[in-house]
Amino acid sequence: MWKLGVNIDHTATLREARYRGLSRGEPDPVEAALACVRAGCHSITAHLREDRRHIQDRDIDRLAEALTVPLNFEMANTSEMVAKALQIKPAYVCLVPEKREEVTTEGGLDVVGQSEQIAATCQRLQSAGIEVSLFIDPDEEVVKASKATGALAIELHTGAFAESYESESVQDAELTRLIHAAELGHSLGVKVNAGHGLNYENIKLLHRVPRLEELNIGHSIVARALSVGFETAVRQMLALMEPASPQGSQ
């Protein structure tokens, strides 16, 4: 069965809208993360951006301290972030492009163009016991290039699939892309995760994609938590991730 990683960045987005530059404020992303863990999520993702637009260093430090499930530390491949990862030693690091917007318009990492730098970071982090995953577009060339870097995992960018809901044919094409990339990644021996733009509707279609191990979902869970709370929002998502969920075919 799929595992669920909850990305709690947007709780910090809300906090920073009022408390930017201050040492505390609400909502607290760590409290949110702990509620998600109580509801049964399998990991927590947080992205420390260079511009600190949502998650702050202190959030990452507290998460690393408080979590009883793996922390998936999302970061750009910079020396500052590599040093931070080596300091907090999360279970996973997910390397992402640094300048991308919140809403999916850009693709995943340029693994082909930056293969040397990415391979060097994989080597440094993985020799410290941190599993590295590369956030990539679901394309054959990029999956193969990811394997060549030595990364143990890939996270397939589901943004294009998520944005294709207005056209069934585009949606089918995006699902096919994900299916091929997942099969290829699995056959090459890397762990295949997926994420970005997944929500309570499109998750039902994602059951067509084989080989996925963990889904990283943020915005839709945080948004739903505003009305039903984190524990219920996570339980509702976990129910839709069950293989036997009504639309599921996994």
Catalytic residue list: 47, 74, 196
C-alpha–C-alpha distance, residues 81 and 47, integer Å:
10
C-alpha–C-alpha distance, residues 97 and 77, integer Å:
8
> Is residue 230 a contact residue for ligand PXP (CB under 6 A)?
no
> Is residue 155 a contact residue for ligand PXP (CB under 6 A)?
yes
Question: Which H/E stretch holds residue 39?
Answer: none
Q: Which of 11, 13, 77, 216 binds ligand PXP (CB under 6 A)?
A: 216
Q: Which of 93, 142, 184, 198 binds ligand PXP (CB under 6 A)?
A: 198
Binding segment for ligand PXP (CB under 6 A), chosen from 82-90, 118-126, 214-222, 241-249, is 214-222
Smaller CB distance to ligand PXP: residue 35 or 198? Answer: 198
Q: Which of 73, 121, 197, 241 binds ligand PXP (CB under 6 A)?
A: 197
Strands 131-136 and 153-157, by their bridges, are parallel
Q: What angle do CA 10, 12, 13 make, to 5 degrees?
A: 60
Kindly tell me the burial class for residue 231, based on how many C-beta atoms sit within 10 Å of its own C-beta (0-12, 13-18, 19 or more): middle
Contact indicator for 71, 90 with CB cutoff of 8 Å: yes
Q: What angle do CA 32, 35, 37 make, to 5 degrees?
A: 110
Number of residues that bind ligand PXP (CB under 6 A): 17
> Is residue 195 a contact residue for ligand PXP (CB under 6 A)?
yes
Q: Which of 30, 60, 74, 82 binds ligand PXP (CB under 6 A)?
A: 74
Find, among 133, 148, 145, 140, the residue nearest to 177 by Cα.
140
Binding segment for ligand PXP (CB under 6 A), chosen from 56-64, 184-192, 218-226, 239-247, is 218-226
> Is residue 238 a contact residue for ligand PXP (CB under 6 A)?
no
CB of 236 to ligand PXP, least distance (A): 15
Contact indicator for 35, 63 with CB cutoff of 8 Å: no
CB of 16 to ligand PXP, least distance (A): 15
> Is residue 96 a contact residue for ligand PXP (CB under 6 A)?
yes
What is the maximum alpha-carbon separation in the chain? Answer: 48
Site residues for ligand PXP per CB under 6 A: 7, 9, 47, 74, 94, 96, 135, 155, 195-198, 216-220
